[in-house]
Chain A
Amino acid sequence: MGSLRLKNIHKSFGSVDVIKDVSLEVSDGEFIIFVGPSGCGKSTLLRIVAGLEDATSGTIEIDDKVVNAIPPSQRGIAMVFQSYALYPHLTVRDNMSLGLKQAKRPADEIRESVDMASNMLSLNEYLDRRPSELSGGQRQRVAIGRAIVRQPELFLFDEPLSNLDAALRVNTRLEIARLHRELNATMIYVTHDQTEAMTLADRIVVLHDGRVEQVGSPMELYNKPDNKFVAGFIGSPQMNFIDATEFGRKDAKTIGIRPEHITVSRESGDLKGNVSHIEHLGADTNLFLDCGSAGLISVRLQGEQDFEIGSSVYAIFDADRTYRFDENGQTIVNV
């Protein structure tokens, strides 16, 4: 059991509105990711779910029970913090068991839970160490272990990977995905990294300026963005946005096309431009075309490709993969 329902959540700090009318339903066992640029309110929303902040208005329901006035420890949640927030004076074992001790659980039950969690995270040999004697990755696993031990309805992760280096980040990401499968628990995860969002989530919630821009599976967001913001936020390099008048089109304000949906030709195409820069990534080549009034267009080509800087080429758009946006940035759906 671990469903969550947010109804019309609103949060303001003084005169600043950080969350504006957010409603969301999360069903049991789902992996939900809040993603958005910094300052979009995603961490605040997570802290409201945890009970570390109060919503200014709106209700939070966990398992169909309103929890607005219930303290964090009784909401059935566990949280993994960005800085890990381990208790520096306690050993790994005590870090993991403190919450259960506080809840006056029997000692053998506590030991069992801790052993289960430490097996799952291969922390057995570190149980008697203090946090200062662990590496960053190990501390991260202890923080996750501390959450698992509580056997919560709802796991909350606040940018848990942002303090790890790139290689460790990939490993820990796989580990979290495995844990989600094994524990079959509901997880809510905040990140600004769209790769994490795309690889881990069942559904992604894209937040911008305190509002939900779109909720959907990773592929829905990629293929059917509701608006220009989501289209630009998901995908790397970013989607190209070109003023519709460049193509003499009257049915949209802006035309969008992802770099991977453009090919190039030396003879003819939709848009002519000069090669201004090339990035060789091995598997891919990123090409930047200066298209005059249409602006800088990025193109992602497969494999190794070579172009002379300054030479002129034509960009060919995959017509099925272009997006149209109106003056408010909303996607115009083809009927």
Chain B
Amino acid sequence: MNMARQNWSNTFAAHAALITYTLIALFPVFVILINSFKTRKAIFREPLALPGADSFSTIGYETVLKQGDFFLYFQNSLIVTVVSLFLVLLFGAMAAFALAEYRFKGNMLMGLYLALGIMIPIRIGTVAILQLMVASGLVNTLTALILVYTAQGLPLAVFILSEFMKQVSDDLKDAGRIDGLSEYRIFFVLVLPLVRPAMATVAVFNMIPIWNDLWFPLILAPAEETKTLTLGSQVFIGQFVTDWNAVLSALSMAILPVLVLYVIFSRQLIRGITSGAVK
């Protein structure tokens, strides 16, 4: 160990602080998960105990699966998130390329116009968005949500991606032009693969807010068949508020898919956030 630089008491204090905060961060999730597998009595008698042989019960999950259509909600959330992310990345990358690559009249203005939405939340326009969706018959469709999330994600995507596209070597693109590639092929074949790390960052930034949003599903698509997982669990819990087994199980079922995905992708996610997209 580094004698001249290391300080044991500091190291100890650092770990103590981090462990304390980690416990605070994980405790609520832990409590919800363990109690969802217990009988009603055990939940109240010993809330902090792990489920044992006599306290184990899946009654809550049975209620949830009987009463709520959680698989449908999950599927809706998945469709909305995946399609929105795809559109944000595709449209965002195309616009970012146009802004980063070509000099044309109004380039600056177009960049500023698209950047407006970074700071102004789309929720401000909710009243007119609802009217628009009513007029076009898109209320209570997943399309409405996908359109809104695409519009919401585009400004930051264009901003981040154009910064990265400016770093792609001009020589590479010019070599492609001399080889006779069209501008479209230069974009899809040469540039897109090089900005993949930035695309991952953009995807990460958009994924969590889309998946977790409650506002737009509540306003634009509250029908039973278009409920997202977030809205579905909110409504379910509201109805079964006195059935603690059901509430805890519903919460666990909302936590688990996200937690599993997070554990699998946490490394990419954290690398995306720390990759310096927001300098």
Query: Which residues of chain A have a CB within 8 Å of any CB of chain B?
Result: 51-54, 67-72
Contacts and interface: CB of A to CB of B under 8 A. Distances in A.
Interface stretch (B1-9, B28-36, B119-127, B157-165): B1-9
Nearest to A68: B3
A67 B5 CA distance: 12
A4 to B, nearest CB: 16
Interface in B1-25: 1-5
A70 B3 CA distance: 8
B43 to A, nearest CB: 50
Contacts of B4: 51, 54, 67-72
Dominant secondary structure of chain B at its interface with chain A: loop
Contacts of B5: 51-52, 54, 71-72
A155 B256 CA distance: 59
Contacts of B1: 54
A53 B2 contact: yes
A92 B5 CA distance: 27
Tell me which of A70, A71, A72 has the highest count of chain B C-beta atoms within 10 A of its own C-beta: A71
Contacts of A69: 3-4
5 smallest beta-carbon distances between A and B, as pairs? A51-B4, A69-B3, A54-B2, A71-B4, A54-B3
A11 to B, nearest CB: 12
Contacts of A52: 5
A115 B4 CA distance: 32
A211 B205 CA distance: 50
A68 B6 CA distance: 13
15 contacts: A51-B5, A52-B5, A53-B2, A54-B2, A54-B3, A54-B4, A54-B5, A67-B4, A68-B3, A68-B4, A69-B3, A69-B4, A70-B4, A71-B4, A71-B5
Contacts of A72: 4-5
A54 B3 CA distance: 7
Nearest to A75: B4
Nearest to B7: A71
B103 to A, nearest CB: 28
Contacts of A67: 4
Tell me which of B2, B4, B5 has the highest count of chain A C-beta atoms within 10 A of its own C-beta: B4
A33 B4 CA distance: 25
A53 B4 CA distance: 8
A68 B1 CA distance: 12
Contacts of A71: 4-5
Contacts of A68: 3-4
Contacts of B3: 54, 68-69
A72 B2 CA distance: 12
A53 B1 CA distance: 10
Interface in B46-78: none
Nearest to A48: B4
A72 B1 CA distance: 15
A310 to B, nearest CB: 37
Contacts of B2: 53-54
A67 B4 CA distance: 9
A51 B6 CA distance: 11
Nearest to B2: A54
A15 to B, nearest CB: 17
Interface string B222-252: 0000000000000000000000000000000
Nearest to A51: B4
A40 to B, nearest CB: 22
Nearest to A70: B4
A68 B5 CA distance: 10
Nearest to B3: A69
B3 to A, nearest CB: 5
B11 to A, nearest CB: 15
A79 to B, nearest CB: 14
